[in-house]
Each structure stands twice: as C-alpha cells, then as structure tokens.
Amino acid sequence: MNQLDFQGRHAVVTGGATGLGYAIASRASVARDQRLGDLVAIPLNPRLKRTLSMVYPKEKFRSRLVTAFVEFSQARLKAARNNH
C-alpha cells in the first residue's frame, strides 16, 4: 500500500481536494474548501477525539491577564476531564 505523509493542515486538505487520496482533517480546516465546492467532507462516526494541550513558557514573566487565562483554562480542562 502506498502512503503519502503530509505536514500541515493545508497540505492534507489540498492532497484530498486534488485527488491524491483521502484525508482525515478537522471540520474547521476543511470548511473553506467545502464551501467553495473543492471537496466533500463526510463526518466520521464514531467521532474522533483529540487531546489538546495548552503550552506556555514555564519561567517567563506573565501579565495578570495571561495568568488569569491560564488559570481559567486549567480549571475548565480539569472540569471537562472530570465530566468524561
């Protein structure tokens, strides 16, 4: 079986849209091309779940706004994990 390895959202979507093969991509990443009629998007069932991480410098100074955002995000992620 031949396999192509694309790096980046645009390359994956373009490969699928130009007929190089099939791709699995997020709904957001294909919305424009789907709206333009360049590709067809079929929702997967069951849905795929991804684990996302918030990344920020550990030792760097953070403003109060950034600190509040980090704390808010960590609390929301913890609550989401507890609900699943």
Handedness of CA 74, 76, 80, 82 (dihedral sign): positive
Amino acid 13: pLDDT: 77
**Chain centroid offset of residue 46 CA:** 17
Neighbouring CB atoms inside 10 A of 29's CB total 16
- Alpha helices, DSSP H only, in the chain? 9-17, 27-35, 64-83
Higher pLDDT, 66 or 17: 66
Amino acid 38: pLDDT: 83
What average pLDDT does this structure show over 16-24?
Answer: 77
The reply to whether the predicted model has a pTM over 0.85 is: no
